[in-house]
Amino acid sequence: MAVILELAVQGAQMLSVLLLAPLLIGFVRKMKARLVRRQGPSLIQPYRDLVRLMRKEVVLADNASWLFRVTPYLIFAATWVAAALVPTFATGLEFSWAADLIVIVALLGSARFFQALAGMDVGTSFGGIGASREVMIASLAEPAMLLIVFSLALVAGATQLSTVAAFMGSPEVGLRVSLGMSLIALVMVAIAENARIPVDNPATHLELTMVHEAMILEYSGRHLAMIELASFLKLLLYMSLISCVFLPWGLGSAVGGSKSLAIGAVAYLGKLAVLAILLAVFETAVAKMRVFRVPDFLGAALMLALLGTLLLFVSRSL
Amino acid sequence: MSSTVALLLCGPAALLATAILAAAVSRLAAATRLVYGAALVISATLLAIVASHLAGNPGAVSATTLPLGLPFTGARFRLDGLSAFFLVVVNLGGGITSLYGLGYGRHEPAPHRVLPFYPAFLAGMNLVVLADDAFSFLLSWEFMSLASWALVMAHHRDEANRRAGTIYLVMASFGTLALLLAFGTLAGPAGTYAFDAMRTAHPGRFAAGAVLVLMLLGAGSKAGLVPLHAWLPLAHPAAPSHVSALMSGIMTKVAVYGFIRVVFDLLGEPAWWSGIAVLLIGGVTAVLGILHALMEKDLKRLLAYSTIENIGVIFASLGLALAFKANAMPSAAALAFTAALFHVLNHSFFKSLLFFGAGAVLTAAGERDMEKLGGLIHRLPVTSFVFLVGCVSISALPPFNGFASEWLIFQAILRSPELPQWGLKVIVPAVGGMLALSAALAAACFVKAFGITFLGRARSAVAERAREVDRWSLAAMAVLAAFCLIAGILPGLVIDGLSPVTLSLIGDRMPVQMAEPWLSIVPIAESRSSYNGLLVFVFIAVSASLAAFFIHRFASHALRRGIAWGCGFDEAVPAAQYTAVSFAQPIRRVFGGFAFRARETVEMPAPGALEPARLKVDMHDPAWEIFYQPITGAIDFATERLNHLQFLTIRRYLTLVFVYLVILLLVLALWP
């Protein structure tokens, strides 16, 4: 019985991240529009966009290879698996031990690897520019992310996200300098990884400064829908990660029964809303950077994360 | 218990016999098939012998002494856990390379320069791993070096290859000199050259430090540690591609074996600072190696530089194991050591696979400059698929094998706050950051390697006409690709197989992994960290298929081919695509400044002039400028001065002889 419940919770988590991700994007867009006094599109516009894309035909470039057609599914699968492994409303899920935080980071790395390859497949300069900038950003963001993982692992004594989340919810954590640094670094990495302002602009096409959109310029129809959904999932993943590690209050547990799960779900939605509003405010308040300012931005994240880790190596209580 | 090792010694003997036979018949048409076939059979037999030995009693030691070599000492050979593991690496790699050679060797323009040395090279590597005294170790080591040098010089009419061969020879001699001194120090005044005697004699602190430094120089120069790596990216690509695979995938591992044998086995208890030295060198090697690879546009040189990166990762992990071992933390040391050996195995798989792929590209298109390739995914479907598997594995992406070993290394790094020394506490997280950086850069590097070579549009006529290679080569690559996947989804199998080695050298082992539910790997405890490659693989496969099924069930099927979108411009010229150099430009801007002192200058033509604008990139290799140029400068200076001695009159020569004799006698007279 317990196993069935746990499997059900796991399945609910996988479905809920899939269904929630477009809503989250819609909410962020709505908030951004309201902040500049526009009416903004409806909350469910991202769902409509996805459905519309799926109904459209695919226009494939002449020399696109099989890799170009397989990649959207691979990106989607890797991102979905990663997103499903992050505790959203409950910890201790059935398959949470299949992968720890390092694996989740690496899964996103796999998705990016194939996305960059797909960008180069058609052989236009747009794909190349996007891919080469994406790997440049990743080459700084990934080590920063791993160092953040190191800090969390040193504080919590584990890289297993469920254990980390449970530890962060316990009273023995307290305020730590290293955790503060990790949080700032994690937010910076999350902004870069999700191609948000000031690193990239998710709302533009055909600008020389764009990165993510340049890589997927050749995609259309159902392929584009998959990639869009994967990028929605990625934003949800990072928000879930930040909320489960740094805002672990109210997190339910698969063994705690339905009441704790319900509280967890409500708390999770509340946390997502708060983070989405913060993101919208931040994006409205800052301007986009030049591409070659991005290494400075991410270098700062890397150094913060390294400093946090070093502090923990010096003393576990810092 | 001498039977197994005696049986194993028949392998190198048979390989040497094949080499002699090959020298005799190498001009015959059937020689290629004969030699590679024989090498394949011998490697497979050796592998089977080692496998049966491991299946019986993996911890057993088998030794024998042959009446060869120096008088009164004989040549000792021994098979233990460590040499068994490296024999597996050597013969698995050697066997698959021979399989590849069956097809690839047919395109060799000068088979008589390759065939005799190929089996000799394999024999040399086998003998190094089996040797049990300093004399036979050094002799086999030199034999291995010389055989590989001959293979590097196979295409000696090319000026660049001759230069590579010369530099390789100099560096190999230097390495052997360092090894000779290391063994001399270990043997001590008693001069016992058997490894058994060295194991029991504990050298003093100073001598042990000297041996460690000499081993880093000797084995490190063969493995490609920065700054001794200068020869490697020249020599490895110069050889025929399957030999490049052997040199990069296997010979560097034999060098790692030499380091482990001396530092972990013969030297006894390490000092804690030895861990710092090895860790730092490993971390720097990893980052610089992969940065060099990113700047490269020659496919085989890119792979050679990436070998340097992986050697750095292996040495960093070994350094971590040393630090743990010195601080009596055997379980953590076993974890780091297992991770290093696992990465040795993985790297031998994917680096051989990638060099085979580069060889296939070379056969198919006759070109290894990436700027002249492109679009090969359409022309070489199978090669491009297996090459992609190799790229994903080496970029440390789940669920393939490169990720499993890097994951273990990160887990070992996370054990290190328990280390007592402040130096280690500061160095370890920094090296952890370096390894993370090198892993991310490796992914960038292999996006570039695959993307420029196989994707996009063909940049030259040869790339447009490329044809898929023969079945032998494809089979060899497919086998390696399968190994990459299997080792990635069942890492527990490898970890458990490594336990006899860690037990004998560290005195502890990682927990049994294959007994874990669902075949996860759990290095310490499940609540702390666990990884299940199989499940991740299944999850990805299932969710990708689900998505594809859903899309094909409910979404539109319509598909139209059209021209690529170029913002209204027609990008018909393939030269307008991103190139290897332009792909690396953002990373060069970020890292090249301090790593290579990279400078970009733009030469704009005068307004109205018709010549094109030019972008010039000026890069320097710090290793050459800091370490090698002063040495060559000093040698040039000294030879210039000594040159005068050649043109003296007979009276002056006689005076010189007389003065020398007087000095010699004075020294002898004054010597206490």
Secondary structure of B130-169 in HEC code, one letter for each residue: HECEHHHHHHHHHHHHHHHHHHHHHHCCCHHHHHHHHHHH
Q: Which residue has the higher pLDDT, A277 or A217?
A: A277
Pairing of strands B614-618, B599-603: antiparallel
pTM: 0.94
* Chain B residues with beta carbon closer than 8 angstroms to that of A120: 447, 451-452, 455-456, 578
Q: Which of B469, B380, B455 is nearest to A67 (CA)?
A: B455
Q: Which of B540, B570, B589 to mutate to test the interface with A (most CBs of A within 10 A)?
A: B540
CB pairs under 8 A between A and B: 284
| B521 beta partners | B531
Whether A257 shows a pLDDT value over 90: the answer reads no
Q: Which of B376, B475, B482 is nearest to B99 (CA)?
A: B475
Residue in B closest to A298 by C-alpha: B590
DSSP type of residue B564: P
Assign B603 to helix, strand or coil: strand
Other Cβ atoms closer than 10 A to B655: 12
For chain A, give every domain's residue range. Answer: 2-314
Q: How far is CA B222 from CA A40, B166, B179, B306, in A?
A: 64, 15, 11, 15
Percent helix, strand and coil across chain B, each to the nearest 5: 75, 5, 25
**Chain B CB within 8 Å of residue A128 CB:** yes
Q: Which of A263, A227, A261, A276 is nearest to A13 (CA)?
A: A261
* Chain B residues with beta carbon closer than 8 angstroms to that of A204: none
Q: What are phi and psi of B559, to 5 degrees?
A: -145, 135
Contact A221 B540 (CB under 8 A): no
- Mark residue A158 as left, alpha or beta (left: phi above 0; alpha: psi -120 to 50; beta: remaining): beta
| Per-residue tokens: B285 | 């090697």
| Per-residue tokens: B331 | 């379980």
Q: How far apart are the first and last CA of chain B?
A: 50
Q: Which of A15, A71, A113 to mutate to test the interface with B (most CBs of B within 10 A)?
A: A113
* Chain A residues with beta carbon closer than 8 angstroms to that of B536: 81, 98-99, 103, 107
Question: Measured between alpha carbons, how far is B453 from B447 in angstroms, rounded to an integer?
Answer: 10
Other Cβ atoms closer than 10 A to A52: 11
Q: Which of B407, B414, B539, B579 to mutate to test the interface with A (most CBs of A within 10 A)?
A: B539
- Dihedral sign of CA atoms B558, B559, B563, B569 in order: positive
Residue in B closest to A162 by C-alpha: B527
Residues 6+ apart with CB under 8 A from B226: B281, B284, B285, B288, B289, B308, B312, B623
Q: What are phi and psi of B568, to 5 degrees?
A: 90, -15
Residue type, B249: G
pLDDT digits (tens, 9 = 90+) for A112-162: 999 999 999 998 888 899 999 999 999 999 999 999 999 999 888 888 888
- Dihedral sign of CA atoms B537, B542, B543, B548 in order: positive
| Per-residue tokens: B314 | 């292996």
Predicted local confidence at residue B616, as pLDDT: 87
Find how far residue B552's CA is from the centre of its chain.
44
DSSP type of residue B592: I
| B369 beta partners | B298
Q: What is the dihedral of CA B633, B638, B643, B646, to 10 degrees?
A: -150
* Chain A residues with beta carbon closer than 8 angstroms to that of B441: 139
Predicted local confidence at residue B256, as pLDDT: 96
CA count, 13 A, side-chain hemisphere, B578 = 34
Contact B518 A98 (CB under 8 A): yes
**Chain B CB within 8 Å of residue A100 CB:** yes
Contact A98 B526 (CB under 8 A): no
Question: Measured between alpha carbons, how far is B335 from B339 in angstroms, rounded to an integer?
Answer: 6
* Chain A residues with beta carbon closer than 8 angstroms to that of B378: 63, 65
**What integer is the mean pLDDT of A257-267?**
85
* Chain B residues with beta carbon closer than 8 angstroms to that of A49: none
Contact A133 B586 (CB under 8 A): yes
Whether A39 shows a pLDDT value over 80: the answer reads yes
| B62 beta partners | B79
A207 pLDDT tier (thresholds 50, 70, 90): low
Contact B440 A109 (CB under 8 A): yes
Contact criterion met (CB below 8 Å) for A200 and A211: yes
Q: Which of A102, A208, A311 to mutate to test the interface with B (most CBs of B within 10 A)?
A: A102
Helix (H) or strand (E) holding B460: none
Contact criterion met (CB below 8 Å) for B156 and B95: no
In the predicted model, residues of chain B with pLDDT beneath 50 are 1
Q: Which residue has the higher pLDDT, A27 or B567?
A: A27
Contact A106 B430 (CB under 8 A): no
Predicted local confidence at residue A227, as pLDDT: 95
**Chain B CB within 8 Å of residue A278 CB:** no
Contact A97 B520 (CB under 8 A): yes
User: Dmax of chain A from CA atoms?
Assistant: 60
Question: Measured between alpha carbons, how far is B468 from A84 in angstroms, rounded to an integer?
Answer: 40
Predicted local confidence at residue B68, as pLDDT: 80
**Chain B CB within 8 Å of residue A293 CB:** no
Whether A190 shows a pLDDT value over 80: the answer reads yes
Contact A218 B430 (CB under 8 A): no
Contact A98 B437 (CB under 8 A): no
- Dihedral sign of CA atoms B138, B318, B216, B187 in order: negative
Other Cβ atoms closer than 10 A to A38: 10
